[in-house]
Structure 1
Amino acid sequence: MKILIVGGNGTIGKKVTSYFKEGHKVVVASKSTGSIIVDITDSNSIRTMFEKTGKLDAIICIAGEAKWDYFSELSEEDYYIGFKSKLMGQVNLVRIGQHYLNKKGSITLTTGILADDPVIKTASAAMVNGAIHSFAQAVALEMENGIRINVVSSGMVEDAYEKYKDYFPGHNPVPMNKVIAGYARSVLGKDNGKIIRIYE
Structure 2
Amino acid sequence: MKVILIGATGILGKIIFKELKKYNDIDVITVSRNGATDIHADISSADQIKAMYAKVGSFDSVINVAGHCWVGPFDEMTEENWYSGIKTKMMGQINLVMIGKELINDNGSFTLTSGFLSDDPIKGTINYSVVNGGIENFVFAANIELKRGIRVNAISPGVVLENYDGMMNTPIAGQYPVSHERVVHAYYKSAFGYLSGQVFRVWEPSTQYIRK
**Residue aligning to 1:28:** 30
Alpha carbons 1:149, 1:194 under 8 Å: kept: yes
Shift of 1:160: 6.7
Q: Which amino acid aligns with 2:21?
A: K
Shift of 1:167: 5.4
d(CA) in 1 for partners of 2:49, 2:188: 24
**Residue aligning to 1:10:** 10
2:177 to 138, 161, 173: 173
1:15-164 equivalences in 2 (<5 Å): 15-23=15-23, 24-33=26-35, 34-159=37-162
Give the percent of matched residue pairs that are identical in Structure 1 and Structure 2: 37
The structure richer in strand per residue is: 1
d(CA) in 1 for partners of 2:163, 2:82: 24
RMSD: 1.2
**Residue aligning to 2:209:** none
Relative to 1, partners in 2 of residues 1:84 and 1:161: Cα closer, same or farther, differing over 3 Å? farther
TM-score, length basis structure 1: 0.96
**Please, which runs of 5 or more residues in structure 2 have no aligned partner?**
205-212
d(CA) in 2 for partners of 1:73, 1:158: 28
**Residue aligning to 2:200:** 196
d(CA) in 2 for partners of 1:69, 1:160: 25
d(CA) in 2 for partners of 1:60, 1:82: 19
TM-score, length basis structure 2: 0.90
Deviations 1:108-149 (A, max 9, x none): 000110011011101111000000000000000010110000
Please identify the structure whose Cα radius of gyration is greater: 2
**What SS class does the counterpart of residue 159 from structure 1 fall into?**
coil
d(CA) in 1 for partners of 2:130, 2:68: 12
**What SS class does the counterpart of residue 43 from structure 2 fall into?**
coil
**What SS class does the counterpart of residue 99 from structure 1 fall into?**
coil
**What SS class does the counterpart of residue 31 from structure 2 fall into?**
strand
The structure richer in helix per residue is: 1
**Residue aligning to 1:183:** 187
d(CA) in 2 for partners of 1:59, 1:157: 21
**What SS class does the counterpart of residue 108 from structure 2 fall into?**
strand
